[in-house]
């Protein structure tokens, strides 16, 4: 059987579905592959790593009927090097062939026997504004951990209260917190940050997206442009993040974000040789930034700032500062300090519902 398809459509769907396969060498080959199902005038794409599931499809001219599991990486690379236009697919018993003109690539098939499909969704669909996904969540993603040995910290923690929701991420060194009122119809759950990031990338111009929550299966599903993205929720107890947020402050710094970002990057050129640590010194004259070198005034930057309260000296990993400054959209930021060894609060000047915490680095005087 030969199937005539558009190269770009097939490649786009194959690359996208491959993001949800398992990269672990110990996984079965079916988890490392993409399941293709020809049915009527569609080719369906399924993939999973048992935590995430993906389902998408493309249209074809003729009625097709086949079921195969393919290895996506080599096939994607091969197809991407072909000129734009149509390609033919030929499905055989033990291989799949891609043809364009006189160019031909043949690839072995994986077994379809053990491929795990996502559970059937019976819960009702609900709506979620895409502005939350596109504008609010990026303020949280960078604070989520990537350490899979502590899975709860790799998730976005939704904490539902009466009429409001707190959304939190932390990796143990920093924390991002959103306070929202009546904006998101989600219960208290922990959703993998990597999954929500992929959902974000697929949103186009929609004002709302549909989702379902299957409580028995602990499964969350988003429906995007004919695609279905599933994730299992992260189970476990999230750390008591409220205890990290300071209840008081002794120093407030208000400064221009772009100038601060530039100065942090300037000083980071030298800080990289000294454990990535940047020292901030705030006093009535302004804010001085310097690397942890013990070389006095050398390699420092100065920035004018509105500073109220006590003079303070505090140190941070510069990468954490860059992450926050890159993701916040406010023109001015506010830094609130209690002591050199206490968590520091970072805010956007006109972003009252968001705060970011960075743990300082201890420095010897």
Q: Which CATH superfamily is domain 245-358 in?
A: DNA Polymerase III, subunit A, domain 2 (3.10.150.10)
Helices 257-271 & 318-327 angle (0-180, nearest 10): 150
For 44, the token pair is 């369906």
Could you tell me the pLDDT band of residue 296, with boundaries at 50, 70 and 90?
A: low
For 339, the token pair is 């002591």
| CATH code 3.10.150.10 region(s) in the chain | 2-110, 127-242, 245-358
CATH tag for 2-110 (out of 3.40.50.2000, 3.10.150.10, 3.30.70.141, 3.40.50.300): 3.10.150.10
- What average pLDDT does the segment 252-262 reach? 97
CATH architecture of 127-242: Roll (3.10)
- Which positions ≥6 away from 336 have C-beta within 8 Å? 246, 249, 251, 252, 253, 344, 345, 346, 347
292 versus 142: which is more confidently predicted? 142
Neighbours of 322 (CB within 10 A): 16
38 sits in which H/E element: strand 34-48
Could you tell me the pLDDT band of residue 95, with boundaries at 50, 70 and 90?
A: very high
pLDDT at residue 4, as a whole number? 93
Contact 244, 305 (CB under 8 A): no
- What average pLDDT does the segment 71-89 reach? 96
299 versus 152: which is more confidently predicted? 152
Average pLDDT value for the chain: 92
In this predicted structure, the answer to whether residue 156 has a pLDDT above a threshold of 90 is yes
- What average pLDDT does the segment 228-239 reach? 95
Could you tell me the pLDDT band of residue 144, with boundaries at 50, 70 and 90?
A: very high
For 100, the token pair is 């364009």
For 240, the token pair is 């008591």
Q: What tens digit of pLDDT does each residue of 308-344 get?
A: 999 999 999 999 999 999 999 999 999 999 999 999 9
Q: What tens digit of pLDDT does each residue of 157-171 get?
A: 999 888 788 999 999
Contact 193, 144 (CB under 8 A): yes
């Amino acid at each position: 059987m030969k199937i005539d398809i558009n190269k770009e459509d097939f490649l786009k769907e194959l690359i996208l579905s491959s993001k949800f396969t398992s990269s672990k060498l110990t996984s079965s080959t079916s988890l490392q592959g993409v399941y293709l199902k020809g049915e009527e005038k569609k080719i369906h794409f399924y993939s999973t790593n048992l935590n995430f599931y993906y389902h998408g499809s493309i249209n074809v001219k003729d009625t097709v009927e086949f079921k195969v599991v393919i290895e996506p990486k080599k096939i994607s690379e091969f197809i991407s090097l072909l000129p734009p236009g149509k390609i033919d697919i030929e499905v055989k018993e033990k291989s799949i062939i891609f043809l364009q003109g006189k160019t031909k690539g043949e690839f072995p098939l994986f077994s379809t026997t053990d491929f795990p499909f996502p559970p059937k969704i019976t819960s009702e669909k609900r709506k979620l504004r895409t502005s939350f996904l596109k504008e609010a969540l990026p303020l949280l993603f960078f604070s989520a951990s990537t350490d899979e040995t502590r899975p709860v910290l790799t998730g976005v923690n939704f904490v539902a209260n009466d009429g409001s929701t707190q959304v939190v991420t932390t990796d143990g060194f920093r924390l991002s917190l959103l306070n929202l009122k009546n904006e998101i119809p989600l219960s208290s759950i922990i959703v993998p940050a990597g999954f929500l990031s992929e959902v974000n990338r697929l949103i186009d111009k929609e004002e709302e997206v549909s989702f379902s929550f299957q409580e028995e299966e602990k499964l969350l599903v988003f429906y995007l442009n004919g695609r279905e993205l599933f994730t299992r929720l992260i189970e476990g107890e999230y750390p008591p993040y409220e205890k990290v947020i300071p209840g008081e402050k002794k120093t407030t710094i208000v400064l221009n974000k772009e100038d601060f970002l530039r100065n942090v990057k300037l000083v980071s050129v030298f800080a990289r040789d000294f454990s990535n640590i940047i020292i901030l010194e705030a006093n009535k004259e302004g804010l001085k930034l310097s690397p942890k070198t013990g070389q006095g005034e050398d390699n420092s930057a100065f920035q004018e700032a509105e500073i109220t309260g006590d003079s303070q000296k505090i140190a941070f990993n510069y990468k954490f500062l860059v992450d926050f400054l890159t993701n916040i959209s406010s023109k001015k930021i506010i830094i609130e300090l209690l002591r050199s060894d206490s968590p520091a609060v970072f805010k956007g000047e006109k972003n009252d519902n968001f705060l970011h915490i960075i743990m300082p680095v201890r420095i010897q005087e």
